[in-house]
Amino acid sequence: MSIAGTTVWVRVALDVPLAGPFDYRACEPVEIGLRVIVPFGRRHLIGVVTALPETPAVAPELVRDVEQVLRDVPPLPADWLRLAAFAADYYQRPLGEVMLPALPGPLRKPSSYQSARAGAGPVARLDARQARQRKAEAGPAMSPPELVQPALNAHQQKAVEAIAASQGFAPVLLHGVTGSGKTEVYLRAVQAVLARGRQALLLVPEINLTPQLQQVLVTRLQAMAGTHGVAVLHSGLAEGERLAAWMRAVRGEARVVLGTRLSLLTPLPQLGLIVVDEEHDPSYKQQEGLRYSARDLAIWRARDLGITVLLGSATPSLESWHHARSGRYLLLSLPNRAVTSTPPTMRLIDTRRLTLREGMCEELTDAIGRRLEQGQQALVFLNRRGYAPVLTCGACSWVSGCAHCSAHMVLHRGQGGSLLRCHHCGGRERIPRACPDCGNQDLEPMGRGTQRVEEHLAALFPEARIARIDADSTRLKGSAERLFVQVHAGEVDILVGTQMVAKGHDFRNLGLVGVLNSDAMLFSHDFRAPERLFAQLMQVAGRAGRHTGGSEVMIQTGYPEQPVYQSLLRHDYVGFATHGLDERESAGLPPFAHQALLTAEAGTLPDTLAFLGHAREVAEEGGNQHYVGDNDDLPCFPPPGLVTVYDPVPLRVVRVKNVERAQLLVESASRPALQVFLRAWLARLHGLPSARRVRWQLEVDPLEI
Ligand code: ADP
Ligand code: ZN
Ligand code: ZN
């Protein structure tokens, strides 16, 4: 392969926390988009070739040689490289930190190419294995399952036609209540794209919890694209499975890719449509490393390719709703449930004048009893796991605090007895026999979580079969699935659960949903809390009686007059969104402003705050007073006044695992100005001496503040 005397300079993106660029020398022709193995310090790394510069960025004699050019994957396509470059630029991260994690594990580990046999690598091994399997199968090829497509109703028909008529870059927001048949619209849009010989990418929130739902969708997609024409990509896959699915997508064998947020970064040579189901779902935002929003990147990718992107939700994010309202997205609505069942009746129970027993009013427990008598199921929704959020002393002010975090230890009941557990650091402790402060033996659990509610319900309804679904009861692989199967099979009468039960499950026989303690979310410090509460309660409500009819949702609240609850009462998303956007506009909050969050953590709060304080001064004065090093090449700040920098504040849970955390919010009405600012700011933050005493990171468009 190598041509004598050829020297090619290659610029390589590497997954290292340094800005680069990293240039190497190759002695053979190399194309942009290929992967290479290169030396880096004493290590060997796999990187992606992003450019072939005329001259290297450093003196040629310092440039090291590429060790191996990998050709087992076709060059990553130009549009994928553009997408990665945009994401790196927008989220202010090194390019390699975007590109490499987007590849399946074996394709970014040099060790997977260290086999003695020439030509061996993960892709070669995969292909050989599949060839053997095919020979072993050697029967007639599996034909896709036959399925009947329901005839579309008028609203669906209109939506499908509007999508078909769209041309070029076409962002569409499909607003449809739970059960309105959005999936059917997605499927028709996918079908149309497949018919034009293009690929479709369907994003769903985390799907590990809902395998049976995923299976229905996969079956429908297979009926259109063939059994091998569908690739499923999510974080629960084993490395080998992910590689196999990814290769089929990249080679164009998979016509449809169904996956979670990471699959947005799959190279797809013939992409013609992106669908983002439940577009408001927070799981589209990655919470570590590159903190990207797969939904936002989907919009960018569709614009770049000039294709349709279809966002669907019963409760769209206020950002998307704002775009739809202002005409930037095409708004399509499915106002009714597809199957003739009436939506559940919503009721607010004003708890202010009621006595509660274990957090539940009599009206709710009576209603549960009636549903059970009618042979229906009831769901009690409570977003707090464990037995009680804190253990207290009856005689003094002692509470069960975590030694390593500024948080309470939560009381959990388990088979081996009770335990105190910290939900922040994972720490565990035995229950003290007496108060550590005053010796009093009378320790009381305060408040309640799902376990305590379960216990209370078991005492009230001794005959009922009760199941609890939360992060504790579903820790073992497959256990969530088993519990859901039991609920579907009618082997459960009362289900107690956290938000885990809210997602996507269609419980046919569920007649009643009781919501406890949702007020806790209402008065959160986070301005998105009401939006999240509304979406969550609509979603939980959507579980009820999709097929039974006459179902109801009872929400216990001390604040029934709050707009969130009033809108819920009327199933009125539009009213809620209108009010919410008005509030955001007058407060100058997203989507009317754009934000970034600088978060820092260190062993002491003064160190954390010192860094953020310096960062603030740098931002305000464009200042160099704390900066050591060469200032000449640094990017410029935007003109003053365009970007607001707030004071550093400790996080609500300031200490976790003995690390003190604080954050600094930056805001601007102009996205471009914010981007210019962040680039200039970041370049200087790296030079701050106080930065060396903290771990810090920048998040663009943070979801939680
Ligand atoms: P959504 O995703 O909007 O919550 P789904 O797509 O899950 O709603 O549809 C809810 C139910 O309605 C599903 O069981 C689906 O098969 C059914 N359905 C959808 N469209 C139609 C239709 N046109 N005729 C009959 N049933 C339909
Ligand atoms: Zn005490
Ligand atoms: Zn802790």
What does the pLDDT look like over 250-298, one tens digit per residue? 999 999 999 999 999 999 999 999 999 999 999 999 988 899 999 999 9
Instruction: Give the C-alpha separation, 528 to 524, whole Å.
Output: 9
Nearest to 233 by CA among 198, 262, 192, 199: 262
Tell me how far the alpha carbon of residue 180 lies from the centroid of ligand 1, in angstroms. 6
CA-based R_g, the chain, Å: 28
Q: How many residues does the chain have?
A: 705
How far apart CA 704 and CA 702 sit, in angstroms, is 6
Residue appearing with tokens 């927070």: 282
How far does the centroid of ligand 3 lie from the alpha carbon of residue 442, in Å?
A: 24
Yes or no: say if 267 and 80 are a contact pair by the CB < 8 Å rule. yes
Q: What is the per-residue pLDDT for 4? A: 54
CB count within 10 Å of CB 151 equals 8
Judged by its nearest atom, the ligand closest to the C-alpha of residue 340 is 1
Question: Does ligand 1 have an atom closer than 6 angstroms to the CB of 539?
Answer: no
For tokens 């290929």, the residue is 34
CB distance 673 to 643 below 8 Å = yes
The residue whose C-alpha atom lies closest to atom 21 belonging to ligand 1 is 338
Looking from the CA of residue 180, the nearest atom of ligand 1 is 3
Q: Which of 215, 278, 279, 339, when mutated, tests ligand 1's pocket best, judged by the most ligand atoms within 8 Å of its CB?
A: 339
Rounded Cα distance between 428 and 411, Å, is 10
Say if ligand 1 is within 6 A of residue 213 CB.
no
| Strand boundaries in 520-658, DSSP class E | 552-557, 594-602, 643-645, 649-656
pLDDT higher than threshold 50 for residue 165 = yes
Name 594's bridge partners: 668
CA distance 294 to 308: 15
CA distance 339 to 553: 19
Residue with tokens 């720490």: 427
Instruction: Write down the pLDDT at residue 625.
Output: 44
Structure tokens at 388: 């009680």
> How far does the centroid of ligand 3 lie from the alpha carbon of residue 530, in Å?
27
pTM equals 0.94
Query: What pLDDT score does 211 carry?
Result: 65
**Rounded distance between C-alpha atoms, residue 662 and residue 600, angstroms:** 6
Chain-centroid distance of CA 583 in Å reads 26
CA torsion, points 574, 580, 585, 586, in degrees to nearest 10?
Answer: 130
- Out of 37-51, 152-166, 513-527, pick the least confident: 513-527
- Is the dihedral angle over the CA atoms 681, 686, 687, 691 positive or is it negative? positive
Q: Note the pLDDT of residue 133.
A: 84
Whether 150 lines ligand 1, by a CB cut-off of 6 Å, is yes
**pLDDT greater than 60 at residue 114:** yes
pLDDT of residue 624: 46
Q: How far apart are CA 619 and CA 645, in angstroms?
A: 7
Point out which residues pair with 644 in neighbouring strands.
667
Classify the phi-psi angles of 359: left when phi > 0, otherwise alpha if psi is within -120 to 50, otherwise beta. left
Q: How far is the CA of 429 from the centre of ligand 2 (A)?
A: 17
User: Which ranges constitute the DSSP H helices of 211-350?
Assistant: 211-225, 239-250, 294-305, 318-325
Q: Could you tell which of 155, 156, 182, 184 is best to mutate to test the pocket of ligand 1, judged by most ligand atoms within 8 Å of the CB?
A: 184
Distance CA 607, CA 527 (A): 28
Q: Whose CA is nearest to atom 11 of ligand 1?
A: 179
Q: Strands of 522-642 (E only): list them.
A: 552-557, 594-602
The pLDDT value recorded for residue 478 is: 80
pLDDT of residue 209: 55
Question: Pairing mode, if any, of strands 510-516 and 377-382?
Answer: parallel
Shortest-distance ligand to the CA of residue 147: 1
Closest CA to 73 of 96, 42, 49: 49
Q: Is the pLDDT of residue 47 over 80?
A: yes
Between the alpha carbon of residue 105 and those of residues 203, 241, 246, 259, the distances in Å are 21, 11, 11, 17
Q: Give the pLDDT band (50/70/90) at residue 576.
A: very high
**Cα–Cα distance for residue pair 106/239, rounded to 1 Å:** 7
Mean pLDDT of 636-647: 92
- What are the residues whose beta carbons fall under 8 Å from the beta carbon of 618, sequence distance 6 or more? 626, 627, 681, 684, 685, 688
Evaluate: CB of 176 within 6 angstroms of ligand 1.
yes
The Cα–Cα gap between 545 and 311 comes to 26
Q: Residues 658-669: pLDDT tens digits?
A: 999 999 999 999
Counting ligands in written order, the one closest to the CA of 217 is: 1
pLDDT of residue 212: 67
The answer for residues whose C-beta is within 8 angstroms of residue 181's C-beta and 6 or more apart is 150, 152, 153, 156, 334, 338
Both tokens assigned to 117: 């046999």
* pLDDT band, very low/low/confident/very high, at 389 (cuts 50, 70, 90): very high
Q: Find out whether the beta carbon of 454 lies less than 6 Å from any atom of ligand 1.
A: no
Q: Counting atoms of ligand 1 from 1, which one is nearest the CA of 177?
A: 3
Place of tokens 């190759």: 26
* Full DSSP string of 140-174: SPPPPPP-PPPPP-HHHHHHHHHHHH--SSEEEEE
Q: What would the mean pLDDT of 319-329 be, rounded to a whole number? A: 97
Is 90 exceeded by the pLDDT of residue 5? no
Please count the CA atoms within 13 angstroms of the CA of 92 that sit on its side-chain side.
Answer: 20
Question: What residue type is assigned to position 575 of the chain?
Answer: G
352 forms bridges with which residues in the sheet? Answer: none
Q: Which of 48-52, 524-528, 671-675 has the lowest mean pLDDT?
A: 524-528
Strands (E), 498-617: 510-516, 552-557, 594-602
Of residues 133, 72, 79, 66, the one with CA closest to residue 106: 72
Residue 138 makes CB contacts below 8 A (sequence gap 6+) with none
Q: What is the pLDDT of residue 530?
A: 95
* 91 DSSP 8-state letter: T
Name the strand (E) or helix (H) holding 231.
Answer: strand 230-233
Record the tokens describing residue 15, joined without a space.
């997954």
CA distance 232 to 217: 11
Average pLDDT on 110-136 reads 82
pLDDT of 71 > 70? The answer is yes
> Between 182-195 and 154-165, two packed helices, what is the crossing angle to 10 degrees?
40
Question: Is the CB of 156 within 6 Å of ligand 1?
Answer: yes
pLDDT for position 421? 97
Residue 483 has pLDDT above 60, yes or no: yes
Q: What percent of the chain has pLDDT over 90?
A: 77
pLDDT for 477 equals 79
Pocket test for ligand 1, best of 173, 183, 571 (most atoms within 8 A of CB): 183
Residue 166, both tokens = 């769209």
For the CA of 408, the nearest ligand:
3
CA distance 106 to 435: 53
The CB of 504 under 6 Å from ligand 1? The reply is no
CA of 185 to the centre of ligand 1 (A): 9
For residues 456 and 448, what is the distance between their CA atoms, to the nearest angstrom? 10
Q: Provide the token pair at 119.
A: 């030509």
Q: Which two tokens stand for residue 277?
A: 């189901």
If we measure between CA atoms, which residue out of 558, 550, 568 comes closest to residue 370?
550
From atom 6 of ligand 1, which residue's Cα is the shortest distance away? Answer: 181
Cβ of 343 below 6 Å from ligand 1: no
Structure confidence by residue, pLDDT tens digits, 588-625 = 999 999 999 999 999 999 999 999 999 999 998 764 44
Helix extents (H) in 588-636 = 605-621
| CA dist list (Å): 278 to 116, 121, 396 | 47, 38, 48
Ligand nearest to the CA of 438: 2
Cα(393) to centroid(ligand 2), Å: 5
Q: Is the CB of 538 under 6 A from ligand 1?
A: no
Tell whether ligand 1 has an atom less than 6 A from the beta carbon of residue 179: yes
Residue carrying the six token digits 């992409």 = 271
Residue with the smallest CA separation from ligand 1 atom 9 is 181
Interval 428-433 mean pLDDT: 94
CA of 88 to the centre of ligand 3 (A): 33
Residue pair 68/36 in contact (Cβ under 8 Å)? The answer is yes
Rounded average pLDDT over 164-190: 95
As a dihedral over the C-alpha atoms of residue 317, residue 320, residue 323, residue 327, rounded to 10 degrees, the angle is -110
